[in-house]
Amino acid sequence: MEIFVFTLLVSALVGALLGVIVAYPTRRLRADYLGMVLLAAGQVILVIGNNYPPLVGGTQGVSVPDPFQWAGSFTFAGLTPGDVRNIMAVAFMVIVAVIIFLYARRLTHSPLGRMLRAVRDDEDSVLALGKDVEHTRFKVIVFASAMAAVAGALYAFYTANVFYSTFNRTGWTFWPWVMVILGGAANDLGVVTGTFIFVAVRQLISFYRDFFTPYLPFNVVWLDTLLLGLALLLILIYRPDGLIREKPIKTTKNVGAHATSSPK
């Protein structure tokens, strides 16, 4: 497990460094221009991964040491060693995901989280209050890059290999965006709910593929894409806040009482 923990730490540091490289020259950009720059940066990394084999093996990919190989030597309740290994890997991934979720939830309810909401809603008002919006945006991008790198390392450990073509724009940019919009942006529970619904729908369609095939005029492999795309359109039209609306952050208790009480 030492290699597992060490790799996660290194991946977080490398991800944060890439975030610094991208965020420092773009920290003054508005949200739409910043989004375009980040998409372009991701595409640049894909091109480098394809044309520079020493990085991730180019088109051939590279194998990754399997820190869960020890779990494949066990059998339990009729499960194959491969199933036991996959269950153990998913269990560790869930533990890391819960830790990051709790940290992000605590962060969003901190003064920094409240300022992030203010920057999102009205950046000019935050500037008028003397807050450093550029530095705040810089910190958020670096932190998000570190979390994304940890997620990528977990995925690489689960699959035991890395292929640059796996990290395509649809699966790693558009679908996560759909999960967030579906559940509710700026909402921890909403993002988890949207992710659960998204994964459940895709798995159900994959599992019952033979059932849907006779009733579809097209290949069933496109069914999940069409359904989730349609769901995204309906959500944006009729419920743009997502399935779970964002709740305002409550202020500290007794603040209102002190403000309204008359001096003695």
Average pLDDT on 236-248 reads 83
In the chain, the number of structural domains is 2
Is the pLDDT at 87 greater than 60? The verdict is yes
Please check whether residue 238 lies inside any domain of the structure: yes
Reduced to 3 states (helix: H, G, I; strand: E, B; else coil), residue 148 is helix
Residues 104 and 32 in one domain: yes
256 is a domain residue: no
Q: Lowest-confidence range among 170-174, 175-179, 251-255?
A: 251-255
What is the domain range of residue 239? 169-251
Owner of token pair 């979390």: 147
Q: What is residue 62's DSSP assignment?
A: E
- My answer on whether 159 and 221 are in the same domain is no
Residues 51 and 154 in one domain: yes
Torsion of the alpha carbons at 109, 96, 228 and 36, rounded to the nearest 10: 70
Domain-ending residue, one of 167, 187, 204: 167
Q: Looking at the structure, do residues 49 and 134 belong to the same domain, yes or no?
A: yes
Top-confidence residue, 251 or 32: 32
Closest Cα to residue 60, out of 72, 47, 51? 51
Q: Tell whether 110 and 215 lie within a shared domain.
A: no
- 180 and 239 assigned to the same domain: yes
The reply to whether 199 and 135 lie within a common domain is: no
